[in-house]
Structure 1
Amino acid sequence: MNRTARLYALVEELRARAPRPSTVGALAARLEVSTRTVQRDLQALMETGVPVRNTLGRGGGWSIDPAMTLPPIHFTPDEASVLAAALAGADGSAAARTAFQKIAAVLNGPASAAAGEFASRVVALPSRTDAGVRAAVHDALAANTVLRLTYTDASGQETEREVEPAGLLTTDGRWYLIGWCRTRRAGRGFRLDRITAAVTTCELAESHDLSDLLRGSVAASATRPRTLDPLNAAVAPSRPQGD
């Protein structure tokens, strides 16, 4: 986790507990860093004007102005279980862990019990996708930059590829990067667990429509998950008004 992401996560941890204080030790454990790092980060937040404060004495610690907190979010037991299931199948990255920490912080009563009961019944084998590979794929998609891959196909042949990423496809528990392969001069799908190395570049990629790249393939009928509709609506370009 880089420093910018860590500072953001630190603020979110304090917000989740506000107005209750948190000790430096507890914050360090949650963020998986040293107490010295947390002390420096808290000082940096104070210097940039973030309203964090330290209360001395028994029961004291670091807290943030309650005005910085979000309104309470209430989940039903079913919603809490679905969220637990979704994050249980995530990549195990620091981002996935901190995401569930934030959700867990706002669960209460029956929702908390339902999520806890579900979580007690979940086990997982280690992911076959390297966390660094997944992070590089996500970064390239977010920045629309060219990605350099080392890829092993179904026959075991390893090749080097340059890919202009268009999106992600998920099916049957597997994830695929869909993009324009410069090496093959065609649209291709790359199983993430077969990517042995991935390096982001600073080169901007050409824009490719995901549906166009999937056309004519076995995934041509793939549609965006309905659960993402609220986010899709938030980023959809506004239509020009008629005269």
Structure 2
Amino acid sequence: MDSPSARSLAMLSLLQSGREWNLRELAGRLQVSERTVRRDARRLRDLGYDVQSRPGPGAGYQLQPSMKIPPLLFSPDEISTIVTGLLVLGAWSPDDPSVNAARLKLEQVLPPGLRQRAVATALSTQILQEKPAPLDWTRIGTLAEAVASGSRIAFDYTDQNGRETHRIVEPYRHILRQRLWYVIAYDVDRDDWRLFRLDRMQAIHPIPGHYRHHEFPYDSVGDWLASNFGESAFSNDESGRASRGEQ
């Protein structure tokens, strides 16, 4: 590594995976001595990162969550990536204040050099692509927490024919396709995997409790969408209702 700062950034990236790294692994990945790894771990602690170490022959290091906000050790290219991503989201949802607020908060906590890169990226970037339907971040948060905890959600749904139903599902993923946001979920009452348009879901709320988890039937969402099962969710049958989809 060229400098202590570069080594610290590389070490932090490894530790942020959440796993424990032994001393020899870190030294090999960073191409430095074990003594240097110990020194860089102390440097990260001095910066405010809670790096825990396990002593002994198989000494290990692991990053623990911390309430203290240390300096953000992003590279300039990583900052450009983050800011550009926020600009894309802002172009898609121009009336949503959360995107601009997130970018401004990020700039406020960056050191001067990275802040300059963030401002320059925002100034020089303009998103012209056709935007999808607006995204409700509150709904996304509820869905994300349900997916992460393996819990269920309930909601009221209006399909493309105006029919209203109450659904209980196990959400798996929300996806963007053809400018619309969809939710892939296991429908408990219908004992099947279904696709729901996010903008047609109302009164979304989590259901407390623990339930038997249903495994997604394909290796990836892309495989499912490419299958007849997935494609049929986007096409109408003769009755005008979506087959296995809830459009």
| More RCO (CA 8 Å, sep 6+) | 1
Larger Rg over CA atoms: 2
- Return the TM-score normalized by structure 1: 0.50
